[in-house]
Amino acid sequence: MRANPRYLSRPARFWAHAKYISEQVKYSDRNKQLRLYEPVQAVAALRDRNLSPDNSLLADVLEYLNWRAETLNNYVAPLFMNREQAATAFEAVKRKV
């Protein structure tokens, strides 16, 4: 996956919030898809550690986290192979070499 240029220049505080919220709210749901985050979940995660939410930063972080989840869920995951598909593709390449 390529980095989205929109988020490349974000400060360390942005990435710290993204990581913390992802870890506290959890990355995925039971359907094995990456979770889409709601503001209330992020605020609750921050308040659990007595951190004050910065609404502007939080909105930017949630936009990033949801963009990442939608990209991975809708564009990357459908390209994954199961074991049998991977073995078949491997054997096809192996025969050509």
Q: What is the pLDDT of residue 66?
A: 96
Q: Report the chain (97 residues): mean pLDDT per 10 consecutive residues.
A: 89 95 85 87 93 92 95 90 94 93
Query: Which residues share a beta bridge with 28?
Result: 34
Nearest CA-CA partner of 22 in 65, 76, 68, 67: 65
- Using CA atoms of 46, 50, 52, 57 in order, give the dihedral in degrees to the nearest 10: -30
69 and 34 in contact (C-beta within 8 Å)? yes
Q: What is the pLDDT of residue 15?
A: 96
13 and 61 in contact (C-beta within 8 Å)? no
Report the alpha-carbon distance of residue 22 to residue 94 in Å, rounded: 39
Q: What is the pLDDT of residue 10?
A: 95
What residue spans define the domains of the chain?
A: 11-96
Report the alpha-carbon distance of residue 27 to residue 97 in Å, rounded: 39
The amino acid present at 46, given as its one-letter code, is L
Q: What is the pLDDT of residue 8?
A: 92
Q: What is the pLDDT of residue 87?
A: 95
